[in-house]
Amino acid sequence: MFSHIMIGTNDLDKAKTFYDNLLSTLEVRPARVDGHRIFYITKTGVFSVSKPINGEPATCANGGTIGFAANSPEQVDKWHAAGVAAGGKPIEDPPGIRQGPGGKLYLAYLRDLDGNKICAMHRLPN
């Protein structure tokens, strides 16, 4: 459904360091830098971080969450630990199983350096 997701940052170098560390736990290569943007390109889509083109400060979405797919609960835990080590803020419940209408999910949530809400998720067998 989606070709890419782009979020804003106020410090591209810090964002690159944060997301390179975080996404390496999901087997994503370091970002490609393109001027005022960085790109993480995978077979399933593109995640990008950009300084706002209009020159205004970047802000996070109120109510928005960006979810990254993980291959296992252990990978979710590594993602969460790497994010915290890189300066991310743990939010909501600790990493773990949540039961929802779509079945069991293993989830972890963080706020990145610019306040964006991000999540790693692994779907557990029912």
Round the average pLDDT of the chain to a whole number and report it.
94
Measured CA angle at 109 (ends 90, 107), to 5 deg:
130
Partners of 38 in the β-ladder: 33, 49
Phi, psi of 19 (to 5 degrees): -75, -30
45 occurs within a structural domain: yes
Instruction: List pLDDT tens digits, range 59-105.
Output: 988 888 999 999 999 999 999 999 999 999 999 999 999 988 878 99
Domain that holds residue 76: 4-52+63-123
* Distance from C-alpha of 115 to C-alpha of 9, rounded to nearest angstrom: 9
Whole-prediction pTM value?
0.90
58 occurs within a structural domain: no
CATH number of the domain within which 115 lies: 3.10.180.10
Classify residue 43 by burial, with Cβ atoms within 10 Å: 0-12, 13-18, 19+: exposed
Has residue 1 got a pLDDT over 90?
no
57 occurs within a structural domain: no
Contact 113, 18 (CB under 8 A): yes
Closest CA to 7 of 53, 54, 55, 47: 47
100 occurs within a structural domain: yes
Domain count for the chain? 1
* Distance from C-alpha of 109 to C-alpha of 123, rounded to nearest angstrom: 15
